Structure 1
Amino acid sequence: MTATTAPAASAAIAAPLTFDERLALAALAVDARIDNQPLDLTDIVRAPADTPRPATSPYSTPIADLLHRARLRIETAGWCRDAAYDDAGAVCPIHAIRQEAATRGQADDACVLLLESIQRQWADETIPAWNRRQPSAAPVLLQLDHAAQLAHARNL
């Protein structure tokens, strides 16, 4: 009698679970863990308390907000005149815009507005040419402000 029951027991153990059965067991395991274990907030990575929080943008339109964030990036990281960026983290206006933009199209739109804003006051044909002629970051920051105001006025 033991000889006939042994193969049946081993056959039941050896049968693999189907995908649906494994998925149902995994869902039950997740449910059991969620229901029984409280959320442990010490596992969440946090920034140091003394890290300055970025200022909120005064603009509600996406391109104006992007230009404002690019301005803040240059203010905090530093301004770069003759390259897109340097080893210290300083950036040129185009690189700051590209870093802050969610998409390439958004960055392109912001650069077009910045160039338009520049050409209203200066005779430069490109943003890099204008950027190289600036004596400090102050005119660059001011021009990013003008471009952000232009984008906001156009609801961009």
Structure 2
Amino acid sequence: RLALAALAVDARINIEPLDLADVIRGPVEIPPAPAMQPYRTPMAALLHRAHARVLRDGWCADRLRDEQGARCLIGAIRAEAGSRRDADDACAFLLDIIRDEFDPTAETIASWNARQRDGHMPARILGHAASRADARGI
């Protein structure tokens, strides 16, 4: 019986040669996945978006944005904020986090940002500030 069943299956299988042009295609453009938003509070979400922007576009010092599109901390926050007031509130919160948890001598975000050697610490501080804002419910 098994031999007859195998023959019946073989008879049903299409044995035409496979045309690879139907299978192989050029590179497929995959749309970017929507950015994951882990925070529900407005300031935490804003700081998270600024963090993602610095990671994506790069970091710079001594200007809001450089020729390549990299941004300083304030520039990234302003680019992501819905209003100047939201940006100012987020910057004030960020400066408090910098002073309280990283550098008590920081006078301004710009002066602290300018003292950094690369974008590692500025990106880290934005991520940390987003987490702290979420923990505080702001």
1:115 aligns with 2:89: no
1:54 CA displacement = 4.3
Change (3 A) 1:100 1:50: same
Who is 1:91 aligned against? 71
Residue aligning to 2:114: 132
* Larger deviation, residues 76-85 vs 61-70: 76-85
| Residue aligning to 2:127 | 145
- Count residues with an aligned counterpart: 109
Give the number of the structure whose alpha-carbon radius of gyration is greater.
1
Distance apart, 1:52 and its partner CA: 2.7
Identical aligned pairs, as a percentage? Answer: 47
Choose between structure 1 and 2: higher helix proportion: 1
Which residue is 1:12 aligned to? Answer: none
CA distance in 2, matches of 1:50, 1:119: 42
Alignment correspondent of 2:61: 81
How do residues 1-156 of structure 1 correspond to structure 2 at under 5 angstroms?
Answer: 49-120=29-100, 121-122=102-103, 123-156=105-138
**CA drift at 1:87:** 0.9
Distance in 1 separating the partners of 2:31 and 2:117: 30
Task: Give the TM-score, by structure 2 length.
Answer: 0.74
Classify 1:76/1:54 alpha carbon distance in 2 versus 1 (closer, same or farther; 3 Å).
farther
- Supply the distance in 2 between the matched residues of 1:49 and 1:102 (Cα, whole angstroms): 31
Q: TM-score, normalised by structure 1?
A: 0.66
In structure 1, how many angstroms separate the alpha carbons of the residues matched to 2:39 and 2:134? 7
User: Structure 1: how far apart are the matches of 2:31 and 2:61?
Assistant: 27
Q: Which runs of 4+ in 1 moved over 6 A?
A: none
Distance 1:54 1:134, change over 3 A: farther
Unaligned 5+ segments in structure 1 are: 1-47
Instruction: Indicate how the Cα distance of structure 1 residues 75 and 54 shifts in structure 2: closer, same or farther if over 3 A, else same.
Output: farther
